[in-house]
């Protein structure tokens, strides 16, 4: 998997890049066909809220799909963790759909779905 990390309004330190890389690479446990991951992390200043709001946005390219998740939090590391957790759920959904499709194909080949 290729991971590209971009920072908007923040300085990308080596520790931050390593943290993001570890979190994204851990998604391989749930779905091993991830092609690329484009990560954008940064800070937003909303005029009606006090303080900075951090965000993490990840676009995962998987065969036949593009999975995009964006989350906000009051801490950058928390935003990254929330995005990773949401991506895990989305990847499990895609994997489940792929397995169901494979089962249907297998049943069709074996003739299990023949009319009774």
| Cβ-based neighbours of 1, under 8 Å, separated by 6 or more | 24, 25, 28, 34, 35, 36, 37
Would 116 be classed as within a structural domain? no
80/27 Cα distance (integer angstroms): 13
Say whether pLDDT at 107 is over 90.
no
- pLDDT tens, position by position, 4-54: 999 999 999 999 999 999 999 999 998 888 999 999 999 987 766 677 899
Would 115 be classed as within a structural domain? no
Would 18 be classed as within a structural domain? yes
Q: What is the pLDDT of residue 116?
A: 44
Would 87 be classed as within a structural domain? yes
Segments forming the whole domain that contains residue 32: 2-110
- pLDDT tens, position by position, 51-103: 789 999 999 999 888 999 999 999 999 999 999 999 999 999 988 888 877 67
> Is the separation of the CB atoms in 33 and 97 below 8 Å?
no
Would 44 be classed as within a structural domain? yes
Q: How far is CA 49 from CA 28, 37, 53, in A?
A: 36, 31, 9
Supply the CATH number for residue 101's domain: 3.30.160.100
């Amino acid at each position: 998997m290729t991971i590209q990390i971009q920072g908007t309004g923040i300085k990308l330190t080596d520790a931050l890049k390593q943290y993001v890389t570890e979190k994204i690479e851990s998604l391989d446990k749930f779905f091993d066909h991830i092609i690329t991951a484009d990560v954008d992390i940064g800070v937003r200043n909303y005029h009606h809220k006090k303080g900075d709001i951090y965000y993490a946005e990840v676009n995962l390219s998987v065969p036949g799909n593009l999975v995009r998740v964006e989350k906000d939090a009051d801490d950058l590391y928390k935003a990254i963790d929330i995005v990773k957790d949401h991506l895990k759920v989305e990847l499990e959904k895609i994997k489940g759909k792929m397995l169901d499709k494979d089962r249907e194909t297998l049943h069709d080949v074996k003739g299990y779905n023949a009319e009774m």
